[in-house]
Amino acid sequence: MSPVGLGKLLAELPKTSDPNLLVGYETNDDAGVYRLNEDTALVVTADFITPPVDDPFTFGQIGAANSLSDVYAMGGRPVTCLNLIGFPSNDLGPQVLHGIVEGALSKITEAGAVLAGGHTTDDEEPKFGLAVTGVVHPDRYWHNAGVQVGDVLVLTKPIGSGVIFNANLRNAVSESAMHQTVKTLTTLNKAAAEILTDFNVHAATDITGFGFAGHALEMARGSSVTLEIDIDTIPVLPEALDMYDKGVTTGVNAANREQISDSTLFRKTMPGKQGEILVDPQTSGGLFVALPESEGDQAVAALRSAGVEEAVIVGNATSPSLPYSLIFQ
């Protein structure tokens, strides 16, 4: 469902009031945050995906990393996980299911969390993800609506996984490009989140199905600012732009492009492939954070020293330039 359609649906729900619900569904954040006491709040989220790869173990790893990322995007630490599984048991054997869960468990363990159970149902195609509960101090959680004018914007992973996976179905990408994509997607946002907690993060999200532009637009609108992005600084996975040049795309690009069209300005003429990469749907994408300009270079240096090698400043926040909330230049 598009962000507009989902937002309309949620807006029609009866309003609830609880002073301990610090982050609900109103801001399209990555997870909910609920205060238990003055020192601890729960971060709660659920997500699942269909297989972007054939290997069950790798599918489980990507699905788990994708779900865990929502807790990291809120500045939290994952604690417990529940498997969410749709599985065609008449078509695939138990060894496939075992491989998926084993792959997921490897990432749950790496995150320092525990697998506490889950739910499996018959489905026409495999689906896998996690319901994750994390913890965060109730005064130090992140959300996507706090960008301040003058902030710099940091992205921690390259984009382009959507078109790479589609191209792989046609055997159109190289083995090395596919390997790099899988490596990127199975990398947890754990190190990035831990490093960034030492800085004054004003807003954060992770880049997933709405693409870089869609999630950037959510952040801009929620914060009532305009984000100016230097498109040439955005890191891109190997061969992703080439795939768009060759006519490969995804089934989501058109909808993602439509959602940003009325609020986005392109200050320079770009090749079509650059426009498409901005709306390429991501799985287990990087963190996208806003922090004071004075901390930007130091934050990127710290991220790279911790192994987040493609972290980079991609833009800054300015006063609203309505009707444009997002400007690419």
Q: Which domain holds residue 242?
A: 152-328
Q: What is the pLDDT of residues 95-127, one digit of tens each?
A: 999 999 999 999 999 999 999 999 999 999 999
Structure tokens at 62: 């990507």
Task: Over range 241-258, report the average pLDDT.
Answer: 95
Q: How far is CA 177 from CA 62, 65, 201, 285, in A?
A: 16, 20, 32, 16
Asked whether residue 112 is domain-assigned, the answer is yes
Considering the domain architecture, whether residues 130 and 46 belong to the same structural domain is answered as yes
User: Is 314 exposed, middle or buried, given 0-12, 13-18 or 19+ CB atoms closer than 10 A?
Assistant: buried
pLDDT-derived band of residue 193, with 50, 70 and 90 as boundaries?
very high
What's the mean pLDDT when you consider all of the chain?
95
Considering the domain architecture, whether residues 53 and 121 belong to the same structural domain is answered as yes
Half-sphere exposure for 278 (CA within 13 Å, toward CB): 27
Task: Over range 313-325, report the average pLDDT.
Answer: 95
Nearest-angstrom CA–CA distance, 9 and 53 = 32
Residue 2 confidence (pLDDT) = 54
Considering the domain architecture, whether residues 156 and 132 belong to the same structural domain is answered as no
Domain with 311 in it: what CATH number?
Answer: 3.90.650.10
Considering the domain architecture, whether residues 178 and 32 belong to the same structural domain is answered as no
Q: Which residue has the tokens 């637009």?
A: 217
Domain with 67 in it: what CATH number?
Answer: 3.30.1330.10
Q: What is the pLDDT of residues 39-96, one digit of tens each?
A: 999 999 999 999 999 999 999 999 999 999 999 999 999 999 999 999 999 899 999 9
Cβ(41)–Cβ(135) below 8 Å: yes
Cβ(289)–Cβ(203) below 8 Å: yes
Considering the domain architecture, whether residues 165 and 57 belong to the same structural domain is answered as no
Global pTM value = 0.94
